[in-house]
Amino acid sequence: MGTLTPDARARWEHLCRTLEGHNYRYYVLDDPDITDGKYDLLWRELAALETAHAELCSPDSPTQRVGAKPSSGFAEVAHSHPMLSLANALDEAEMRAFDRRVSERLGHESVEYVAEPKLDGLAVSLRYEQGRLIQAATRGDGHRGEDITANIRTISSVPLRLRGDDIPATLVVRGEVYMPLAGFQTLNAAQQARGEKPFANPRNAAAGSLRQLDPKISAERPLTVCFYGVGALSAEKDIQQHSELLAQLQAWGLRVSPEYAVLQGVDACLQYFRVMAARRAGLGYDIDGVVYKLNQLQEQALLGAVSRAPRWAIAHKFPAEEALTRVSAIEIQVGRTGALTPVARLMPVTVGGVTVTNATLHNAEEISRKDVRVGDTVVVRRAGDVIPEVVRVLMEQRPADTHAFEFPSICPVCASAVTRVEGEVVARCSGGLYCPAQRVQAIRHFASRRAMDVEGLGEKRVEQLVQQGLVHKVSDLYGLSLESLVKLERMGDKSAENLLLALEQSKHTSFACFLFALGIRDVGEATARALASHFGTLERLQGADEEALQAVADVGPVVAKQIVLFFSQAHNREVVSALLAAGVVWPDEHPVDEEFPLAGKNFVITGSLSSLSRQQAKERLQALGARVSGSVSSKTDYLVCGEKAGSKHTKAEALSIPILDESAFLTFLQNI
């Protein structure tokens, strides 16, 4: 190894900068100014210098995209700011309705939007600190994703360092990783040549490529990325518009869609949609619609978000793809809550690049309205990730010997009576946890990733445990022994040990995951989180009556009733006690109340504040345990009101909610 001369270091620096510059022109600007051959020469010179002088090696060097070693799994990453999803508009009327809601809320005649194609890939979040890529994560459940940093670093269009001299201290940038069609076709040809299964579509290929434990495999896959927003941006920059933000991301070296456009009003949006639909087949990558966002960031902040999606953005989806096939059987599935869902088993058919063999028929009413029968030729449709559905029957092709489907009056799994509550379309098995199908689904739900996260408890395994009588209720999982497990078919010593280990590990959970895992009717993840942060402890939650429960922002009368009903039933209380006795624990939601003096309090912030931004005010309140939401309701405890407050002020007055102007708010914070 030679001595490192100042000249060699300077040459190394120069080569790194030059190659970064060429990467930027090629991947971000789509305007290369050097041939591939010349680029290769520079790259090799850099690699040779680094081989000769190991001390030059830096993780940010353009040669270092494929260096990481395979790992044994993906670590979990908590998103500092939730990764939201998008509400959908499925046709022009829904798009116009969205625009009307936005215009009314803002009090504007015509709204300015930014439009861009909706890429059919995987959402990712990248964190840059002092301009360096330090972490990349998948969306996961929006709050926690998987650490895919090593794989993301192999994507050439992802800068390892941001460009320019006005780089933010922190930038969390959000975008979509996808596989262009040309790369997808080459990859599939290579898969087939090796005798391996081809990927069904570019999205699956991109997902499979990102989830490789060996980054060298990801590096060989033709992935690219496009960024469309930020999760966090330290406050040095004064950016007022989403279009400015996109231009700034591009200037920092982050690829944004070359198709984005600023549009005035809904008609311009619909015209953009029509143009994109016409251009879709020739774009060279899959898109499934168009995304519109309010251009003014202040207006985005004013509208806020509901549950998982912002009110200031929408995805206008292209119509779903359809195909014809034959129904070979109609079966009934029994879900976790006993709901009976009729499912059509179909002759395999490809719809939008995916083979479909089952489609939902939703419920008894739907099946009789559409009159779907075994032997019928039907139109099936799939749109995005949703379960395929039977749209209609081609009556003219119906064979002579078909029979109308008779919806069962007893559960096909446990023979309990099927009941239907007045006014509800869903028919349910009345067997409760006596019904093995409900038990299997309840246990599957309990063990699922977003609940207790027990690896290795798939549907087949749970069915086996239930059938063999080893598990009757979720708490029995923690009583499983090695001896009983190894007696099961297809269960080796190693798998049994792994399952016991996974069960042991799952005991360390969070209060919210535990609540979600219990499978209380109507308590989804968001509600479980809201309950956990509001009540802090299981004792307080169990002791809450319907009125106290309704003080939680996500909880209305129906959900409150379900929660009270759940904890009033002796068998549920026994399961909860057994789980705690088995060692299920979670860290305190509010370790010391003095640290979270505003826990359980709901705030809304409106108007513009002069001494701090609304975001800063929100963060201060959240740090004190408060919940900050976007709209005033009877559950709001305080309205913080800056200059030019509008309808929220009026509504808060009407509901007699305490209103804090800026100076009262600052005094309030000081006195806490």
Catalytic annotation, residues: 118
Which C-beta is closer to ligand 5U1: that of 263 or that of 447?
A: 263
Of residues 128 and 292, the one with the C-beta less far from ligand 5U1: 292
Greatest CA separation found in the chain?
88
28 touches ligand 5U1 by CB under 6 A: no
Size of the site for ligand 5U1 (CB under 6 A): 13
Cα-Cα end-to-end distance for the chain: 62
Give strand ranges (E) for 425-503: 427-429
Element (H, E) at 347: strand 340-351
Cβ closer to ligand 5U1: 84 or 148? 84
123 binds ligand 5U1 (CB under 6 A): yes
* CB environment 211-226: b (16+ within 10 A), e (fewer): ebeebeebbebbbbbb
- Tell which one of 289, 310, 388, 536 touches ligand 5U1 (CB under 6 A): 310
**Nearest distance from residue 512's CB to ligand 5U1, in Å?**
22
Is residue 229 near ligand 5U1 by the rule CB under 6 A?
yes
Rounded CA-CA distance 614/604 in Å is: 10
CB of 548 to ligand 5U1, least distance (A): 33
- Residue in the structure block whose two tokens are 């798998």: 495
Between 86 and 604, name the residue whose CB sits nearer to ligand 5U1.
86
CB 361 within 8 A of CB 343: yes
Query: Quick check: 46 binds ligand 5U1 (CB under 6 A)?
Result: no
Here's the x/- map for ligand 5U1, 603-642, by CB under 6 A: it reads as ----------------------------------------
Q: Binding of ligand 5U1 at residue 286 (CB under 6 A)?
A: no
Under the criterion CB under 6 A, does residue 291 sit at the interface with ligand 5U1? Answer: yes
The angle that helices 36-52 and 6-23 make with each other, rounded to 10 degrees, is 140
| Unique residue bearing structure tokens 């098995």 | 429
Q: Is 466 in the site for ligand 5U1 (CB under 6 A)?
A: no
Answer whether 113's CB lies under 8 Å from 269's CB.
Answer: yes
- Closest Cα partner for 331 from 340, 346, 342? 342
The answer to whether residues 338 and 432 touch, using CB atoms and an 8 Å cutoff, is yes
Please identify which residue in 116, 376, 554, 589 interacts with ligand 5U1, judged by CB under 6 A. 116
Report the SS3 class of residue 474: helix
Q: Which residues ranging from 176 to 195 are in contact with ligand 5U1 (CB under 6 A)?
A: 176
Residue 361 to residue 345: CA distance in whole angstroms: 10
Kindly identify the residues of this chain, within the stretch 78-107, that bind ligand 5U1 according to CB under 6 A: 84-86
Instruction: Give backbone dihedrals phi and psi of 430, rounded to 5 degrees, phi first.
Output: -90, 5
Q: Residue 161's closest CA among 12, 26, 21? A: 21
CA-nearest of 140, 141, 160, 168 to 74 is: 140
Taking the complex as a whole, the smallest distance from the CB of residue 141 to ligand 5U1 amounts, in Å, to: 14
Report d(CA 25, CA 6) in Å as an integer: 29
Using the structure block, give the residue that is written with the tokens 């619909």: 270
Give the nearest distance from C-beta 303 to ligand 5U1 in angstroms.
11
In this structure, how many other beta carbons lie within 10 angstroms of the beta carbon of residue 138? 24
* Contact track, ligand 5U1, 243-282, x by CB under 6 A: ----------------------------------------
- 313 binds ligand 5U1, rule: CB under 6 A: yes
- For 480, the token pair is 């499983």
Instruction: Tell me if 523 contacts ligand 5U1 by CB under 6 A.
Output: no
DSSP assignment, residue 456? T
Is residue 225 within the footprint of ligand 5U1 (CB under 6 A)?
no
- Number of residues in the chain: 672
Q: How far is the CB of 294 from ligand 5U1 (least distance, A)?
A: 10
Decide whether 64 or 631 has the Cβ nearer to ligand 5U1. Answer: 631
Nearest residue (CB) to ligand 5U1, 118 versus 601: 118
**Which position among 24, 98, 228, 478 is part of the footprint of ligand 5U1 (CB under 6 A)?**
228
Least distance CB 314 / ligand 5U1 (angstroms): 9
Please state the closest distance from residue 272 (CB atom) to ligand 5U1, in A.
Answer: 13
Question: Rule CB under 6 A: which residues touch ligand 5U1?
Answer: 84-86, 116, 118, 123, 176, 228-229, 291, 293, 310, 313
